[in-house]
């Protein structure tokens, strides 16, 4: 119960700073990029959704990184660009592959759910862990010397 209170307090503090709102707005643009690219690659370029979803995920990761770096966590003293970029890819890649892509495959292949709906569900599942990993690791406030 104490860990739940700590998580709640952590999220409450960020809500008061509006950082989580910024993250959500950036995330909505990422959903648009991801869904749009998935649809275009699958329906117009005829790339099987299993592959096109990975491409769409990567494109949305790149767009979200730049927006989050500049706006969501732009107020923090930061590590080097490449350190942030690599850490972002690791943290978001984990949630994107473990949540988004695997759920997309599972729901579409085994339950027959339309691939775009499965993709949205996968994105939703990974969102909270994505925020926490990036706030505590990728964009962690660098201590001043």
pLDDT confidence bin for 47, thresholds 50/70/90: very high
pLDDT given at position 48: 97
Average pLDDT over residues 49-67: 96
Model pTM score = 0.82
What percent of the chain has a predicted confidence (pLDDT) above 70? 87
Q: 116-129 as b/e, with b when 16 or more CB fall inside 10 Å?
A: bebbbebbebbbee
pLDDT tens, position by position, 72-124: 999 887 789 999 999 999 988 888 888 889 999 999 999 999 999 999 999 99
Which DSSP string corresponds to 55-84?
HHHHHHHHHHHHHIIIIITTTS----HHHH
């Amino acid at each position: 119960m104490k860990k739940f209170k700590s998580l709640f307090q952590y999220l409450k503090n960020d809500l008061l700073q509006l950082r989580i709102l910024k993250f959500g707005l950036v995330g909505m643009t990422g959903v648009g990029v991801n869904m749009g690219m998935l649809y275009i690659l699958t329906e117009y370029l005829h790339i099987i959704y299993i592959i096109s979803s990975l491409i769409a995920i990567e494109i949305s990761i790149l767009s979200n990184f730049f927006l989050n770096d500049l706006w969501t966590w732009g107020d923090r003293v930061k590590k080097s660009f490449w350190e942030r970029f690599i850490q972002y890819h690791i943290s978001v890649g984990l949630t994107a592959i473990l949540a988004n892509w695997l759920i997309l495959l599972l729901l579409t292949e085994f339950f027959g759910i339309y691939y775009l709906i499965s993709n949205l569900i996968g994105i939703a599942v990974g969102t909270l862990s994505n925020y926490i990993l990036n706030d505590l690791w990728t964009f962690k406030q660098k201590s001043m010397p």
